[in-house]
Amino acid sequence: MESLFKKVMYTGVGLVSTTAEKVQEKVNELVEKGNLSEEEGKKVVNDFITDFDTKKDELETRVSKIINKVINSFDFPSRNEVTNLKTRIAELEAQLEPAKKTVTRKTTAKKATASIKKTATQVKKTATTAVKKTTATARKKVAAVKATAKKTTSTKS
């Protein structure tokens, strides 16, 4: 924001400088035509430059006051406050680093435990299914053997 004010001020100085050149040219023309003496022309130009310097100083003072007023109204933190905050943040991050590692280890352990439980559940389901199938097959074979034994017993009788 301060650079904006500087640009405006420099633009003003440039305009006044250009104006001073124009005044000098006009005074020179008047001196050449004889409407003004050379001393009167120098006095007019010197008065203009003096007046300009005074006005420039007044303008710089006013702009500086306005800038300070605007900056103070926003309550910006000082450089020391910002530096202290950055230092404090770095310290807190350093304190959190071991906690992050612990959390990561705990998360990894939880994931491994969940994976093991899932695998155990799948194995249990597979085993249960296999046992059921084997039991069903065994029952069928036992029934077939009993049926064969009955036939054999009934034919012998």
Q: Is residue 34 part of a domain?
A: yes
The torsion region of residue 34 among left (phi > 0), alpha (psi -120 to 50) and beta comes to left
Six token digits for residue 102: 């612990």
Rounded to whole angstroms, how far apart are CA atoms 49 and 17? Answer: 9
Which residue type is seen at 157? S
pLDDT at residue 13, as a whole number: 67
Rounded to whole angstroms, how far apart are CA atoms 52 and 61? Answer: 14
Residues with pLDDT less than 70, the chain: 1-2, 5, 9, 12-13, 16, 36, 102-103, 153-157
CB 87 within 8 A of CB 18: no
| Number of structural domains the chain divides into | 1
Rounded to whole angstroms, how far apart are CA atoms 9 and 68? Answer: 16
pLDDT at residue 75, as a whole number: 74
Q: Is residue 134 part of a domain?
A: no
Alpha-carbon dihedral sign for residues 76, 78, 79, 80: negative
pLDDT at residue 1, as a whole number: 55
pLDDT at residue 103, as a whole number: 65
Q: Is residue 87 part of a domain?
A: no
Domain interval for residue 7 = 2-76
Check residue 75 and report its DSSP letter.
T
Within 10 Å of residue 59's Cβ, how many Cβ atoms?
15
Six token digits for residue 40: 């009167």
pTM of the model: 0.36
